[in-house]
Amino acid sequence: MTQTLSILLVDAHPVVRVGARSLLEAEPGMYVADEAESGENACRKYIDRPADVVVIDLDLPGIGGLEAIRRIKSRHHEARILVFTGHHETVFVEQSLQAGARGYLGKHCAGAALLEANSLVGNGGIYIEPDIAQRLAVRKTTGIETPFELLSTREFEIFCLLAEGLSVNQVSIRLSLSSKTVANYATQIKSKLDVHTIAELARMAIRHGIVSI
């Protein structure tokens, strides 16, 4: 008998949550047990009521999707997390998997892919959107590397926020860290990426498609 999968749906946009809930709950054997609109809320709700699958966007207010994944996995190693996001760059996939996600799917995909991904991840498998998986494989086999592989999940998240134009103080508030801690991270990030200014960080992010102009 097929197991019924409970799902925690995490997205900042109510319209996206409504659409995803409608799709998921139309599938026999799946139901949305709860929703969250931020990374912090997702962590709290999962701790209070663990779901079989956490479907989470990376662009969330507060601590963000990557840090939410890391925090959930650090407390619950068995958590099964599927990233459902608008980011298609392979660096985001690698960072998500490093943080503990077991699946990655773009929001441009057909509804059937979301159902398949939930089923696979919920039953202990791994799902990577085929097009992204192919690009990852090509990059690995050709030996092409990005400088961001040097960054930890936390460093990459702070890199993205700084590249988007947030100040050290704004990042510290966003991630609930001290300004000194963020400044130390910024120094480490610049050293690893061999750049000297935040403007250079921003140009690097634009060049690799991580942030848009």
Domain ranges in the chain are 5-141, 147-207
- Average of per-residue pLDDT across 5-15: 96
Confidence (pLDDT) at 3: 67
Q: How many CB atoms lie within 10 A of CB 172?
A: 19
Q: Which comes out higher in pLDDT, residue 90 or 35? A: 35
How do 53-56 and 103-106 pair as beta strands? Answer: unpaired
As a whole-number percent, the residues of the chain with pLDDT over 70 amount to 96
How do 81-85 and 53-56 pair as beta strands? Answer: parallel
- Average of per-residue pLDDT across 133-160: 82
Nearest to 70 by CA among 97, 92, 35, 94: 97
Confidence (pLDDT) at 63: 84
Residue indicated by tokens 């000194």: 180
Residue indicated by tokens 């460093």: 155
**CATH of region 5-141:** 3.40.50.2300
- Average of per-residue pLDDT across 29-56: 95
Distances (CA, A) of 171 to 151, 159, 160, 185: 17, 10, 10, 11
Residues forming beta bridges with residue 53, ordered by sequence position: 7
122 contacts 8 by C-beta, under 8 angstroms? no
- Average of per-residue pLDDT across 11-18: 95
Query: Of the given ranges (3-12, 111-120, 140-149, 162-171), which has the lowest mean pLDDT?
Result: 140-149
DSSP state of 1: -
Confidence (pLDDT) at 99: 92
| Helix axes of 90-99 and 130-142: crossing angle, nearest 10 degrees | 90
- Average of per-residue pLDDT across 206-212: 81
As a whole-number percent, the residues of the chain with pLDDT over 90 amount to 68
- Average of per-residue pLDDT across 25-49: 94
CA pair distance 71, 38, nearest whole angstrom: 13
- Average of per-residue pLDDT across 73-101: 92
Provide the total of helices (H) and of strands (E) in the chain, helices listed first.
10, 6
- Average of per-residue pLDDT across 22-47: 94
- Average of per-residue pLDDT across 79-105: 93
Confidence (pLDDT) at 207: 86
Q: Which comes out higher in pLDDT, residue 82 or 143? A: 82
* pTM listed for this prediction: 0.85
Give me the chain's average pLDDT, please: 90
Kindly list the strands in the beta sheet with 81-85, ordered across the sheet, starting from the edge strand earlier in the chain.
30-36, 5-10, 53-56, 81-85, 103-106, 127-128
* pLDDT (tens digit per residue) in 106-146: 998 888 999 999 999 999 999 999 988 888 888 777 766 77
Q: Is the pLDDT at 34 greater than 90, yes or no? A: yes
- What is the second-level CATH architecture of the domain 147-207? Orthogonal Bundle (1.10)
211 contacts 205 by C-beta, under 8 angstroms? yes
CA pair distance 58, 87, nearest whole angstrom: 8
Confidence (pLDDT) at 1: 40
Counting Cα atoms < 13 Å in the Cβ hemisphere of 51 gives 26
Nearest to 91 by CA among 134, 148, 133, 129: 148
Confidence (pLDDT) at 183: 95
